[in-house]
Structure 1
Amino acid sequence: LDPSYPKERLAFILEDTQTPVLLTQEKLVENLPPHQAQVICLDLLLEENTQNNQENPVNQTTLDNLIYVIYTSGSTGQPKGVMIPHRGICNQLHWRQTTFRLTDADKVLLTISFSFDPSVWQIFWPLCFGGQLIIPRPGGHQDAAYLVEAIAEPAITVLALVPSILRVLLEEKGIENCRLLRHVTCGGEALPVELIERFFAQLNLDNVLHNCYGPTEASIDTTFWTCQRGSNYTIAPIGRPITNAQIYILDENLQPVPVGESGELYIGGIGLARGYLNRPELTKEKFIIDPFSSQEGARLYRTGDLARYNSDGNVEFVGRIDH
């Protein structure tokens, strides 16, 4: 729950989840909407000299238990609670580590509110694999001048940005001091080729910028493409699937479309959400039986996105079906 959200949205989420326990800070309690949850202020707990048991409880969590519910904006305006199991996030983190190899010298800057799912890898990738997590001041991720300083001074090496923020940063004074970056992820918006070329021109960093694609319903990122200098693309591809993910581009009859033709993008694999909280009909509509899998219970997620295969095997995002 982002404290900056409107009270109506917070109230809806608390009611929809029937949250039994709410972890927060004392200063935020008075701004909460009416709710039934037991409130625990973590800052007060730290101040209390309690004689609590110092032993960690036995971990009985399984890969199929939920790790979180994150709310996305619905087309009707009502938020949808996406239920993500541990399995998908474990896969996401292991894919990142296998592909990009974080070390104890890496510093990851948190650049998004924790109410959005990219924050999950930004927080837990360094914490799970020995890197350093750098948390900016509240609201700092929206201040371009501050962000450039926050990247340059502690020598940030890992960064995630939406393309529109990357564009602003590349125009900011001091961006030339950010050349220790070795892993920059773009996602959430289309990445223009012109912006890729500007990145190379400003920072002169090869094999660092990655265009990623993935809906919340598929545990963060599903595909990625490492941006290349002077490529012949007019639209930056979203690339190929990550480990244990499948991509299908299908027509209205769930048949694969030819290379170069547009179709709806479907996602399969172990990263899929359990579904939408308290929305069984929507879950049934968006998560369908996988007609291409022999595995019992295998499903596909209908993204509502149009895409096509390029001749080199990379996927290109075309747009939304409903636009």
Structure 2
Amino acid sequence: TALAGIWQELLGVERVGRHDNFFELGGHSLLAVQLSSRLSQAVGVELPLATLFARPVLADLAESITEQLRRAGPKDLPAIVAVSRGEPLVLSFAQQRLWFLTQLDEGSTNYHMPLALRLRGALDRVAWQRSLDRLFARHEALRSVFVAPEGQPGVEVLPADAGLPVTKHDLRDRPDAEATLLDLCREEANAPFDLSRGPLIRGRLIRLSDDEHVFLLTQHHIVSDGWSMGLLMRELSSLYRAFVAGQDDPLPPLAIQYPDYAAWQRQWLSGERLQSQAQYWRETLSGAPARLALPTDRPRPLQQSFAGASVPVVIDAALTGGLKRLSRKHGTTLFMTVLAAWAAVLSRLSGQDDVVVGVPSANRGRREIEELIGFFVNTLALRLDLAGTPSVSELLERTRRTALAAQEHQDLPFEQVVEIVKPPRALDHTPLFQVMLAWQNETVGSLDLPGLRVEAAGEGFDQVKFDLELDLGEDGEEIVGSLHYATAVFDEATIERQRGYLLALLRAMVADSGQPVGRIELLSAEERGYLLDDLNRTAAPYPSDLCIHELFEAQVRKASDAVALVHDDERLSYGELNARANRLAHHLIGLGVRPDQPVAICLERSPAMVV
């Protein structure tokens, strides 16, 4: 009963049946984590994700949970409780690592989270500002600033009535409105935050006409993440609808705040639990390649550049349906299936069968923090094994095991994992991995505002943290997203080819899950023809009635002193090489060798071999 109730809540359905299957219920990794956290609270059982994936039918899963309760009884998990605001507030592990990184590059905008919206219709500007102020008051994370009077950072929270700062611009009746709008967008994007003073969220409301506005919202990543952006959009919609209608704040009060979670995290992730997670990552990533040797269009700069661009990725409905069937058959989520394909493409491009891919994790395994805005997201380094010519089925199984094990050990912050593994460090690439796959599980909401049509106003994707970032998610019957890339090392045409390789591999996986992954044809007919035919059209006119030694002697007569051969520090001219070859020829003739008679040689690569 508890299991069915949790499923109904998570899926938003009226009922589920005993024989419903996790994979047929749209199962994905985030859903599995949420189910596990709710079960822990409801019946006191920690549900390993591997158990859910091994027993995806609800009745079988309930039986397994019941048996676990009989054997060990329910467990009480430590609750996240509010801490005193009279004592110093601590940073979470994620905040601490990001605070440190910002100290290395003060004034950087690399960790900004921008949002640009175009609002068409009658905007109630008073209700809009009131909604933003209420959000600012509601979430302490948005009001947090980070001070370090003695070098050790701590958290201070700005007053709830301070209000979210919004700069207003009126461009009505200005002939240069669009040009000015672009200038304001650039100005907003390039304005740094002061972490010690805050606020670390700000807005700009730009009025283009009576019924058209552009709203820019910028947050620092240290107080927010992708999931938080979805929460912010949903809560902003609810608040604005209520305030426009003359109603009060409709949002329920929050039992805890982000600083409470940060204090709990430091207490919970310690001792044996910390050692267990550290040992897992130490063993898993030991000996992993420091760099994925992808072929690039340009030499890598000495220091990593964050300049980026993107190409769209669309996996059509027919292929998406096939991938869902393939995933159900092999007990994987869509994310795991696409991850397996992406790792196979990277392996083929790099020539490496040991591939590490970064994967963002929402890291919200506790029910209490699902409604909190804050910096929770963590990054997992998934090491995929493609050695031994695995079949599609075998690679899916390897990927499933890897992904589930990583999810079970997702609490240790990425920077601590790096310190534990101690990979070679360099300024020109990120440690452990340089390629990421992010899967969006409908965590980012959209604004639903009365009397307004809302659309994204931002253009392009001009910053990346890694060489390649594949960002995908389900959109109706399709999988859509973008492949972002570092423009310092890749050209757009190269990335478009990589997108084609991924789609070709996915289609082949659906067609035959028994075939070896390494033998799947990735090249299109056009590219194959270019590589094999066009590039090999090197025919040139030459005296075809002469033998090769006669052509060589003609070159000797033409340029006897020109360098013909270089080996280490030794150089031979055409004349010298010809003289040595003639001496050897006369020696062989003296031994009885005649024209067209083969003579074996046994030599290392050297000038003597060429002679």
Q: Same fold (TM over 0.5)?
A: no
TM-score by length of 1: 0.24
Larger Rg: 2
Q: Which has the higher contact order (CA 8 A, sep 6+)?
A: 2
Point out the structure with the larger helix share. 2
Point out the structure with the larger strand share. 1
